[in-house]
Amino acid sequence: MAARDALGLKTEIVGVVATQANAYELSFAAGHAVPTNSADTIADGLACRTPEPDAVELINKGASRIVTVSEDEIKAAMRIYYTDTHNLAEGAGAAPLAALLKEKSLNSGKSVGLILSGGNVDMDVFQSILAEIPQ
């Protein structure tokens, strides 16, 4: 957000949370940090139960919305990254793609950029995700 603002751009920033770790979604809606009792998600980097109040303030100032993605959507995005681009993405790294796919019709015709970070998924976990047959 700071880079966007410093460059005078109008880039829309969209946050992503996992359905089972939605403290930042709740915080975004409330306008202040809202803790949750659980953050049980395959997307370890999104597993937050107690949001940082300063982060919530920044997100509320700069993000347009928060998209919530399910475990199945995250796993599908992990598989897509691997099969289509040969990139290894852990759950949190694949969550932005999961959100883009979820909002495919909303983003149709737009230029969209995603950040892919994190490839330190446990091999056994990743193999089980690759082996899952999509529903």
Tens of pLDDT, residue by residue over 13-51, are: 999 999 999 999 999 999 999 999 999 999 999 999 999
| Ordered domains of the chain (ranges, CATH) | 2-131 (3.40.50.1100)
| pLDDT class of 135 with cuts at 50, 70, 90 | low
**φ, ψ dihedrals at 89, nearest 5°:** -125, 130
119: tokens are 């490839």
67-125 pLDDT per residue, tens: 999 999 999 999 999 999 999 999 999 999 999 999 999 999 999 999 998 888 889 99
User: Rounded to an integer, what distance in angstroms lies between the CA atom of residue 116 and that of residue 21?
Assistant: 19
pTM of the model: 0.91
Contact 44, 90 (CB under 8 A): yes
66 backbone φψ class: left, alpha, beta (φ>0; ψ -120 to 50): beta
